[in-house]
């Protein structure tokens, strides 16, 4: 059982930056593939980025490539999402997720979810 808690969201102007954190407890984080998803009002959940168990492989949604960076510190049991050059269309609730084994881009493959953190980008 893994308990995930996100933080770091907020209101930022377009072009600004935010760093999201996801603190995990309950299990060794290195056993889990992890990901960030987001959900904007009135829209379905959308994959944002994944990282492998030791962080050697990452994968991104095309629209965030070059702007967002996913990383993890297993010693601190924390997942991160550095978001630069933010755009109004990045506005959403961002969720971190974990699954035992290989990271995937499909939300239904993940067993553990945080409560979400709101990111709002003003134009």
Burial of 51 (0-12, 13-18, 19+ CB in 10 A): buried
Distance in angstroms (rounded) separating the CA atoms of residues 81 and 87: 15
Model pLDDT for residues 47-82, shown as the tens digit of each residue: 999 999 998 999 999 999 999 999 999 999 999 999
Cβ neighbours of residue 7 under 8 Å, at least 6 residues apart?
20, 21, 22, 23, 117
pLDDT averaged over every residue in the chain: 95
- pLDDT confidence of residue 29: 85
Mean pLDDT across 29-50: 95
Q: What is the pLDDT of residue 57?
A: 94
Q: What angle do CA 61, 18, 2 make, to 5 degrees?
A: 70
């Amino acid at each position: 059982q893994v308990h995930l808690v996100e933080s770091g969201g907020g209101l930022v102007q377009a072009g600004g930056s935010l760093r999201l954190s996801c603190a995990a407890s309950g299990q060794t984080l290195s056993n889990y593939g992890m990901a960030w998803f987001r959900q904007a009002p009135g829209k379905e959940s959308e994959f944002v980025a994944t990282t492998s168990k030791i962080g050697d492989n990452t994968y991104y949604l095309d629209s965030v490539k070059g702007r967002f960076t996913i990383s993890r510190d297993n010693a601190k049991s924390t997942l991160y999402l550095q978001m630069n050059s933010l755009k109004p269309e990045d506005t959403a609730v961002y969720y971190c997720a974990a699954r035992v084994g290989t990271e995937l881009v499909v939300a239904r493959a993940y067993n553990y979810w945080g409560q979400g953190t709101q990111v709002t980008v003003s134009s």
